[in-house]
Structure 1
Amino acid sequence: MRTNYRRWSEHPYFGEQTPPQQNPEPAYFPMFFILRQTNNGFLDPFQQRILWQIKNPNEIDWGFELTIVERTLLSITPEQRQLAQYWGMVEATQNMTPMIYNYAQKYQLGSPFIARVLAYFHAAVNDAFVMSWYFKYLWDVARPNQYGTNLSPLLSTPRFPSYPSAHATVAGCAETVLSYFFPQEASGIKNTMGECALSRLYAGVHFNVDNDEGLKLGRQIGGMAVSLLRAQNQ
């Protein structure tokens, strides 16, 4: 497939001599709300073909995106540094799952409800991870540190392709699912998940568009889980 961008599998990380090794296995893990067909078409929970909303990387100006990363790292604030470390030093869901328990306590919800929220949340997040990995290895987009510039990222760059950001995809999915269960908290949930996505730019390991399009993809996946929930409650 002809591309107008730099491929992750063809360029070493800055300071290294050989390109990184591929590990696409998670792209083929089983899913809960999405059905993969033999031709890598995908169906939603209602057996309808999914038209993915994520932008094709050939439509993106990656040179411009690199300048955003460079400028961000040169002007990083203490608050941005803290966000990068908060979301990047642990699994993203490690910071999301306590939100469920906090909201459940706030609204005095019982154990069966909490179990249901956790089940749908983690099942949808599983699908978000699988689809983010699918698109990562389908498009094979290079990381910011593969452009030969001496960036100073705050965190180590992960060893898999850049686009879309898995953090952002999970955040968009979590935003949609948790806002369904806790509509009173929707504004705060959206802000928190937006910070999760943006933290990857602050860390210097993702382009801004990785995060924007990852959020979009995650919200689409979360929307499938919510559509099924609504149908079950009718």
Structure 2
Amino acid sequence: MDSLRSAMDERFRGTLSPAVYDRSVAYGDTVAKHVLAWASTDRFLQTRGYPKYTVSAAPGRWVPTPPAYMDAIEANWGVLRPFVMDSGSLFRLAAPPSFDTTKSSPYMRMVSEVLETSRHLTDEQRAIAAFWDCNPYVMHVQGHTMFATKKITPGGHWMGIVAIASRNADADIMRSSEAYARTALAMADAFIATWAEKYRSNVARPETMINAYLDERWEPVLQTPPFPEYPSGHSVVSTAAATALTQLYGDSVAFVDSSEVEFGLPARSFPSFEAAAAEAAISRLYAGIHYRPAIDEGARVGRQVGSLLVSRVATHDPRAKQVVAAAPVRAATAGER
């Protein structure tokens, strides 16, 4: 961080007067102190000392999955203080189907759908699953050796979409900052809501159930993440992010998502943010790592999280919005920054 600050100092000292520069730095430091003080009370530090998740032997409950059989990640994330929601359990999901291995039960029909979908995937569906993988820590096992490939996260992918949308809209620094901030807030609360329900319902992953009751050799298209299944985090987070972006940039904004190009995947085109979120959600069924109820309910709650942000959080004066809309967009001058 010191090197970053030095680089920023060098960049702006030459474009701003000493008085403006000093006032800007002082204001930034004041804001940072306020943010850090507020963040220190979000219960993150306390959760570092909470007990780790204990695997249950009860049928239908989550257990570690291949290939690394990692421990459950962040079992207490759902108790963190949200930014906009009143609590992580503000929006309750419908209960997932009850564990029942009877062949005709809703539970086994749900499990069977994942298996049958994986057996009949098209090339396009495989491409969709790969594009929205967003697994930041893919594990590889070779004999007694384990190592990980680090890639983009779901949040990082949507931050990439924010950048693309802001460039396409020729947004200035203030509008771009608003887009980043609102989308980040929506996703942060979406993750908290998701994790609160994941460890409350504690549903086993398709890989566990299919291997136990339908096909012991079956493997999902993508690696199963190390935490409970319900709901789909991609569905909640993507829909919340899309709701925030739609409110800012519009509901029919076509764009080309090149966020995954640096990771070797081709760009994909979407007619809207909502369409991208819907594809991200269904990709988890194609990938073999989520059941349909987790996807459908996840999208519903994600929309609630995003809509709450839209209704509660104001990031500019509505009167100023009218002025900006009527004026041509231009880059800020050095003296305005």
If the length of structure 1 is used for normalisation, what is the TM-score? 0.82
The answer to whether the 8 A contact 1:164-1:211 is kept is yes
The answer to whether the 8 A contact 1:53-1:216 is kept is no
- Correspondence 1:219 to 2:303: yes
Identity %: 26
**Residue 262 of structure 2 corresponds to which residue in structure 1?**
none
- Correspondence 1:7 to 2:61: yes
SS at match of 1:8: coil
1:13 CA displacement: 3.8
The answer to whether the 8 A contact 1:135-1:164 is kept is yes
CA distance in 1, matches of 2:75, 2:175: 35
**Residue 258 of structure 2 corresponds to which residue in structure 1?**
none
- Correspondence 1:57 to 2:111: no
Counterpart of 2:184 (choices 115, 122, 128) is 122
1:20 CA displacement: 5.5
1:113 CA displacement: 0.9
Structure having greater relative contact order (Cα 8 Å, sep ≥ 6): 1
The correspondence of residues 179-190 of structure 1 with structure 2, limited to 5 A, is: 179-185=246-252, 188-190=272-274
The answer to whether the 8 A contact 1:154-1:204 is kept is yes
**Residue 34 of structure 2 corresponds to which residue in structure 1?**
none
- Correspondence 1:28 to 2:73: no
Unaligned runs of 5+ in 1: 43-49
The answer to whether the 8 A contact 2:96-2:293 is kept is no
Provide closer, same or farther for how the CA distance between residues 175 and 59 of structure 1 changes in structure 2, counting only shifts above 3 A.
farther
Unaligned runs of 5+ in 2: 1-57, 100-105, 135-151, 254-270, 319-337
CA distance in 2, matches of 1:86, 1:58: 29
SS at match of 2:166: helix
CA distance in 2, matches of 1:155, 1:133: 20
Q: Which shows bigger deviation, 95-104 or 163-172?
A: 95-104
Where do 4+ consecutive residues of structure 1 move more than 6 Å?
none
The answer to whether the 8 A contact 1:5-1:58 is kept is no
CA distance in 2, matches of 1:141, 1:131: 16
SS at match of 1:88: coil
CA distance in 2, matches of 1:142, 1:164: 11
Aligned residues: 216
Provide closer, same or farther for how the CA distance between residues 128 and 5 of structure 1 changes in structure 2, counting only shifts above 3 A.
farther
The answer to whether the 8 A contact 1:168-1:197 is kept is yes
Larger radius of gyration: 2
Counterpart of 2:175 (choices 113, 127, 130) is 113
If the length of structure 2 is used for normalisation, what is the TM-score? 0.58
Provide closer, same or farther for how the CA distance between residues 93 and 15 of structure 1 changes in structure 2, counting only shifts above 3 A.
closer
